[in-house]
Amino acid sequence: MTQPHARATTVSAIALAVAGALVLSSCSTPQAEAQPGLTDDSIKIGTHQPLTGPAAASYAPISAATAAYFDYVNAEGGINGRTIDYIVKDDGYNPANTQTVVRELVLEDEVFAILGGLGTPTHSSVLDFLNDNGVPDLFVSSGSSAWNQPEKYPGTFGFQADYVTEGMVLGQYISEEFDGKKVCLFGQDDEFGTDMQAGLEKVLGADGLAEVQTYSVSNQDVAAQIVALQSAGCEVNVLATITGFTALAIGTAAQLKYFPQWVSSSSGADYGPLSGYLGEAAPLLLEGFVSDNYLPSATEDDNKWIELFKQVNDEYNDGADFTGSVVYGMAMGYLFAEALLAAGEQPTREGLIAAVQSGELKGSGLVPLGFSEDNHSGYLGAGITVVHDGVQAAIDKRWVRDGDKVVVYDKPPVELLSGGIPS
């Protein structure tokens, strides 16, 4: 019975080739436009976010908040008469998917720029592609230092205080408040953990950390590491953890009757989600919880930015839970609006990049931004927050990085002007 089989194979092959070519070329090759994604009254930007998968719970609200902020801006007339069309694509925190969705955004949707791509491993995989294609890659949502390479990646800019800086700020606070205590680190088994460690050691010294333990996102059992920290007698534990694992660490330690001082990076310190994970015991377990932040805290009701963001959240975000992620998302939206305004009436991709590099952008944070021609990193430092009675509030301590040390920063934080829309 080989004859029909061979014939079928031949027919298959030919049908395959024809069908394949037809289907794959069903959309005509688009003309390369001078400024893709830009019309007289709108501008199209895109982002890749973990909307599904293990990172989703902590970070999915960010893009929703940014979208809400843009809705607010658009309702008030947009920037220079253009509405902002913000496309969010899911990569599930998987670099392989990031490759695909970013190519979709740039080659299919033809976005003008990419805003706030989230995740270190995910975004690293698209740096070459974005810069090769001249796409402005603004305000990456990650604390890696990889976004600050102006020579290699001229179109890429950071946003957060990078992990090394965070480590230095936290280290400084620890050396002042917890002098003499044994300090240890529990960090993610990648750049997040190693950069925080580097920052801490810059301030506390090469032997400042008594014990370092790591975890991997794919494995939720951290009992062994916590036991190790407990056995080493750690009194102050710095956490370079994403929110879920901050909760795991604190919760596991509590079960072991181990209650050290917890000091966390901003990436995993959002009080709202944390208390969701920890349940009823949250206020007790998180009492005295220290973290750093370069943006105002979500629970600071008397901060004008927070007031505005809450209003926008209620009106344009279906009154979603108001957490640090929402503040983050809206602050990023505001920064983009500032950059777009600075790029002028007829923005170009190069013009947008130049606008960011000019250093004129103020942002909405507690510390200044570092953008210049030689520096593509975002916030230069951070302040400290402490949790008391279930409220996470900033205390009056801020530092910015100066080379290998941090210096006190005491200028007032950026003021809210013109209803939160740059003009």
Partner 1 sequence: MTPIQRWGATAGILVLAIAATFVLDPYRNYLLAMTAAYVCATSGLSLLVGRTGQLSLGHAAFMAAGAYAFALTSNALAEADAPGPVHLLVPFLAAVVVASVVGLIVGVAGARLHGPYLAGLTLALVIALPAIASTFGGLFGGDAGLYVSVERRPDWLSTVIATEQWQAWVGLIVAAIVFGALAQLVRSPSAIRMQAVRDDESAARLSGIDPVRVRVGMFGISAAAAGLGGGVLAYVTQAVSPGAYSLTFSLFLLVAVVIGGVGTLAGAVWGAIVIVLVPEITTAITEALPLPAELSQRLDGNLAIVVFGVILVVVMLAAPQGIHGAVAALTGRLRRRRPRTAPPAPTT
Partner 2 sequence: MSTVLLLLGAGLARGAVFALFALALVLIWRATRIANFAQGAMSVAAAYLAYLVLVGTGSFALAIVTVLVVGAAIGFGMERGLMRFVPSRSPLNSIIVAIGAVMVLTGLLGILFGADYKPVSVPFSREPIMIGELAIVSPYTLFVFVVVAVVVAGIALLFTRTSLGLAMRASAFDDEVARLNGVRVSRMRTLGWMLSAAVGGLAVLLAVPTELGLSPHSGDLLFVNAFTVAIIGGLDSPVGAVIAGLLIGVLLTVVTTLWGATVGPIAILVLLVVVLLVRPQGIFSLRKARLA
> Taking CB under 8 A as the rule, does residue 261 contact partner 1?
no
> Taking CB under 8 A as the rule, does residue 276 contact partner 1?
no
Question: Which pairing describes strands 290-293 and 381-388: parallel, antiparallel, or unpaired?
Answer: antiparallel
Ranges within 85-104 binding partner 2 (CB under 8 A): 92
Residue selected from 218, 389, 396, 418 as contacting partner 1 according to rule CB under 8 A: 218
Residue selected from 47, 66, 83, 94 as contacting partner 1 according to rule CB under 8 A: 94
CB-based burial, 389-406: b 16+ in 10 Å, e otherwise: eeebbbeebbbbbeeeeb
Residue selected from 92, 251, 363, 383 as contacting partner 1 according to rule CB under 8 A: 92
> Residue 117 Cβ, how far from partner 2 at the closest point, in Å?
19
Nearer to partner 2, 216 or 311 (CB): 216
Residue selected from 279, 288, 390, 419 as contacting partner 2 according to rule CB under 8 A: 279
Ranges within 156-195 binding partner 1 (CB under 8 A): 189-191
Torsion of CA 304, 310, 315, 320, to 10 degrees: 170
Question: Site map for partner 2, 42-81, x if CB under 8 A?
Answer: ----------xxx-xx--x---------------------
> Residue 67 Cβ, how far from partner 2 at the closest point, in Å?
18
> Residue 157 Cβ, how far from partner 2 at the closest point, in Å?
29
Ranges within 156-175 binding partner 2 (CB under 8 A): none
> Taking CB under 8 A as the rule, does residue 90 contact partner 1?
yes
**Angle, alpha carbons 291-295-299 (nearest 5°):** 70
Burial tier of 330 (Cβ tally within 10 Å: 0-12, 13-18, 19+): buried
Question: Site map for partner 2, 103-142, x if CB under 8 A?
Answer: ----------------------------------------
> Residue 196 Cβ, how far from partner 1 at the closest point, in Å?
15
> Taking CB under 8 A as the rule, does residue 221 contact partner 2?
yes
220 interface partner picked from partner 2, partner 1, none, CB below 5 to 8 A per type: partner 2
> Taking CB under 8 A as the rule, does residue 27 contact partner 1?
yes
> Residue 244 Cβ, how far from partner 2 at the closest point, in Å?
5
> Residue 139 Cβ, how far from partner 2 at the closest point, in Å?
24
Nearer to partner 1, 90 or 166 (CB): 90
**Interacting residue ranges for partner 2, rule: CB under 8 A:** 52-54, 56-57, 60, 92, 189, 214-216, 218-225, 227, 231, 244, 247-248, 254-257, 276-277, 279-280
**Interacting residue ranges for partner 1, rule: CB under 8 A:** 3-9, 11-13, 15-17, 20-21, 23-25, 27, 29-30, 51-52, 60, 64, 67, 88, 90, 92-96, 99-100, 103-104, 107-108, 120-121, 124-125, 128, 132, 189-191, 216-219
